[in-house]
Structure 1
C-alpha cells in the first residue's frame, strides 16, 4: 500500500508529481528545489539555495514522521560541478551520524533555472 505525502507548508508541485510517496517503511522523495510555500525561489547564493532545498527535504520527512537521519539514499543534481564543494559544506550540516549513500551529478538544466535539486529515499526502522 502506498500513500501520498503533501506537507502543509510546501509550494504546489511544478509538474504532475507527488512530493513524496510512503510505500511500507520506505519514503520516496521527489526532487526538491529552493522554492518556498509562496512559490518564491531562494537562490541569492549557492549556500542559501542549498539550505532552502534541505529545509524542503526536511519538511517532507517531518510530514511523514521522519527526520534527516532516516535518509538512506540521496541524489544531488547540480547545474555546475563548480558548486559541489559549497553544496557539500551546507549539506553535511544536516547529518549527525552516518550520512546517506549519495551521488552528485551535473545536469544541463533544472526546473526554474535553479542550481541544486535533491531527491531521496528514507527508511522507517
Structure 2
C-alpha cells in the first residue's frame, strides 16, 4: 500500500490520505468542491461544485498515473437530493461513454457544511 499526496489535490482536512494505491487500485478520499487555486469551498451551486470536484479528481488521477476512464466506482454524498438532476447533468459530461458503478445518497451534513462530497476508486 502506498499513501499519495498529489500536489493537484486540495489539502486534507484531517488525519487521512488524499489517495492510496493498493493492489492495482487508487482510492481517492471524499473530495469537497474546493477551488484549488483560491482554496474557496464552492457552496450554493451544485453544478459548479460538481464540476470543481470532477476537475480536481481528473487532475489527481492523472498526476498519480491514472485517469477518469479508469474509474470503476463512485460514491456521491449530497445534502439535497432534489439537486440530483443538476448534479447528474455535469457528472454526465465527465463520464460520457465510460460509466463507472455509482451510488448517490442524501446525507444530513458534510464537512465544512459542504453541499456535496464525492469519493472514487480507479484502476492504476
Given the two structures, how large is their TM-score scaled by the length of structure 2? 0.92
Q: Which runs of 4+ in 1 moved over 6 A?
A: none
Q: Residues 1-125 of structure 1 correspond to what in structure 2 (within 5 A)? A: 2-37=1-36, 38-124=38-124
Q: Distance in 2 between matches of 1:82 and 1:46?
A: 11
Deviation by residue 1:5-48 (Cα, 9 ceiling, x = unmatched): 21213221111110010013111110001113342112351111
Q: Name which of structure 1's ranges 53-62 and 104-113 shifts more when overlaid on structure 2.
A: 53-62
Structure 1 distance, partners of 2:27, 2:8, is: 18
Query: Unpaired runs of 5+ in structure 2?
Result: none
* Contact 1:32/1:118, CA 8 A, preserved across alignment: yes
SS at match of 2:26: strand
| Structure 2 counterpart SS, 1:8 | coil
Stretches of structure 1 lacking an aligned partner (at least 5 in a row): none
Q: What TM-score does the superposition give when structure 1 sets the normalisation length?
A: 0.91
Structure 2 CA distance for aligned equivalents of residues 17 and 36 of structure 1: 20
Q: Conserved in 2, the CA contact under 8 Å of 1:27 and 1:122?
A: yes
SS at match of 1:34: coil
CA contact 1:10–1:36 (8 Å) conserved in 2: no
For residue 102 of structure 1, give the secondary structure of its aligned residue in structure 2: strand
- The CA RMSD over aligned residues, in Å, is 1.3
